[in-house]
Amino acid sequence: MRHVYLMLCIAGTVWPLTHFFPFVQAHGLDIPHFLQQLWVNDISRFFAADVVCSAVSCVSFMVVEGRRIGMRQPWRAALGLIVGVSLALPLFLWLRQRHLEQQSQLALA
């Protein structure tokens, strides 16, 4: 699964940024304009609200699950939210899987 999570990290970075970079090229990092466009109609507000709720759920899961299994600094995957949930969640799952595999190897040694 670790390879699947890594591929999802790549896709979750590249695909969203292919839509964000044209905005930045056209408008720069104009945050007020970005927020205006983000909340411009019911459909965009629906998606924006969904992503915000998903991000909060994702960070909560990262912290609780990371602590439960003894990961050091489980919150660092939340830095993926700079790109979006599409990177942060598979990044956490990749780090989690790597941690579990390392713990399994230590238990066998």
> 12-48: per-residue pLDDT in tens?
999 999 999 999 999 999 999 999 999 999 999 999 9
Burial 46-74 (b: 16+ CB within 10 A, else e): eeeeebeeebeebbeebbeebeeeebeeb
Model-level pTM?
0.88
The pLDDT value recorded for residue 105 is 86
